[in-house]
Structure 1
């Protein structure tokens, strides 16, 4: 993959392969990469401010933009925007249940949470207990999995939507691909992924402290292709403070979107078109 990058210590990498070889090139290094990543978050407070890196103020614009995107997708994929259906979602990298509580649980009857940091998941259990929710009893947090993405295999055909936000950067490229290969089987027919992540403006940026990588749009698209995923729609985050990484949402399908045939007659070749 001809994409260059750098890290916070001034190291330059000619390609992701060069960087991954240095960081996760053998079993010991890869184990350290994932242990150190979880270890970083184990030292973070289980609060909005903690999981948002000291920027608790981005919670509201984050949820507003995500909800607008989700509403658009519901209208396209679910009859009557999902009314009278039993819908199930998986919240990957769920943290303290922030996205589930503020968004997903209002749209899905069941939400499963996947989070490798145990004290975040315990906080999520409390935050999503029935007494702390303002939704009907038909909507609930169903399962809490204290498992990292690279080790998780979903139940076959359980989910309408798998939501992956601010966590995929912890996966090395090979684990990124294998995660989506396993996760595809967890989708119901017609189900889809939503990936929401920070974007590097070019190439990639390695964070040595929390063991994560910020990929560019080009980098993501190359990985989506390797996963056999197809972009249905994209939306950029709005309303974040200046100085933060740009953030983009991708709606990803396991099959190529069907092209709608145009009803307009084809223009005959070698004849001028009419200028209107």
Structure 2
């Protein structure tokens, strides 16, 4: 999906505004007519996702071309924040701020305080890392080690140059993997968190499921995924230019179920321009999540609250 949004993405056509890279941002000017169907960026209608995938990747040659064109699009984009965010570099601060609030909540709820305060080394994987924007501005501040996975070589080299050893105290960017999600298999039990932002839209449904099935083995016990991605109001929207698909919330949840993943928490991104697709953050676990019990004072239980 161009993960303009591995990030965010908008599109450069008349119908779509600028985009953000493999997991990057993109505009929401096209709407799907029904949940099971969708549109492409030229306005062509598909009755179902199965129909669209059969048309786009129905044989090995088409599938090879799908991925080749997706990476090819990003190979023509400059290695800068504005480049990977499709001309929407100004959303970087809002993106990082929302992601930080989300990950802080997840770490406090899912990782026991004794584990976080001990000598345990926290390790994260940044999928569709692009130029290292998410690692540099967020992940490296919370994890002792961060590995970066990105198929576009000049993006990854820019990340390597900016994330020099000692960039953030004793935390470091450790491994730089130049390969696409659909070909990557993580080291078993290495990661506490696997962060997938603005890039999963480049994967077909089958490869989406296959990736998460392999990636589950890369999590430590109690580890989890964070998926941050553009969402269509209904169905899906196919971008013909960068070979990516924006899925609806229900579409994502169906795929999560196929992956054997459980939705622990989700949150909407706020503060983005209205012309872009809505962006949603999902925290996914491999086990059925335990409910977090919170107690509140009986005295204050019925006090009216301001509706925001």
Task: State whether TM-score is above 0.5.
Answer: yes
Structure 2, unpaired ranges of 5+: 1-34, 296-308
Higher Rg of the two aligned structures: 1
Residue of structure 2 aligned with 1:212, choices 244, 261, 279? 244
Rounded to whole Å, the distance in 1 between the matches of 2:248 and 2:162 is 33
1:163 equivalent in structure 2: 195
Q: CA deviation at 1:261?
A: 9.1
- Residue 231 of structure 2 contacts residue 280 of structure 2 at CA under 8 Å; is this kept in 1? yes
2:93 equivalent in structure 1: 60
1:78 equivalent in structure 2: 111
Residue of structure 2 aligned with 1:109, choices 134, 138, 144? 144
Structure 1, unpaired ranges of 5+: 264-276
Residue 15 of structure 1 pairs with residue 48 of structure 2:
yes
Residue 243 of structure 1 pairs with residue 275 of structure 2:
yes
Rounded to whole Å, the distance in 1 between the matches of 2:75 and 2:131 is 12
- Residue 267 of structure 2 contacts residue 280 of structure 2 at CA under 8 Å; is this kept in 1? yes
1:87 equivalent in structure 2: 122
Q: CA deviation at 1:82?
A: 2.1
Rounded to whole Å, the distance in 2 between the matches of 1:22 and 1:29 is 9
Rounded to whole Å, the distance in 1 between the matches of 2:47 and 2:255 is 17
Q: Secondary structure at the match of 1:130?
A: coil
Q: Secondary structure at the match of 2:195?
A: strand
Q: CA deviation at 1:178?
A: 0.3
Question: What RMSD, in angstroms, separates the aligned Cα atoms of the two structures?
Answer: 1.7
Residue 136 of structure 1 pairs with residue 169 of structure 2:
yes
Residue 230 of structure 1 pairs with residue 232 of structure 2:
no
2:7 equivalent in structure 1: none
Rounded to whole Å, the distance in 1 between the matches of 2:192 and 2:293 is 27
2:62 equivalent in structure 1: 29
- The alignment's TM-score, normalised by the length of structure 1, stands at 0.91
- Residue 109 of structure 2 contacts residue 292 of structure 2 at CA under 8 Å; is this kept in 1? no
Which stretch has the larger CA shift, 104-113 or 252-261?
Answer: 252-261
Rounded to whole Å, the distance in 2 between the matches of 1:6 and 1:121 is 32
Rounded to whole Å, the distance in 1 between the matches of 2:67 and 2:234 is 25
Q: CA deviation at 1:79?
A: 2.5
- The alignment's TM-score, normalised by the length of structure 2, stands at 0.82
Q: CA deviation at 1:68?
A: 0.1
1:181 equivalent in structure 2: 213
2:224 equivalent in structure 1: 192
2:16 equivalent in structure 1: none
Rounded to whole Å, the distance in 1 between the matches of 2:134 and 2:269 is 15
Q: CA deviation at 1:258?
A: 2.8
Residue 40 of structure 1 pairs with residue 35 of structure 2:
no
* Deviation readout 1:26-70 (Å, 9 max, x if unpaired): 100000000000000000000000000000000000000000000
Higher relative contact order (CA 8 A, sep 6+): 2
State how many pairs are aligned: 260
Which stretch has the larger CA shift, 78-87 or 24-33?
Answer: 78-87
Distance verdict in 2 for CA 1:102–1:261, change over 3 Å: closer
Return the structure number with greater helix share: 1
Q: CA deviation at 1:254?
A: 0.7
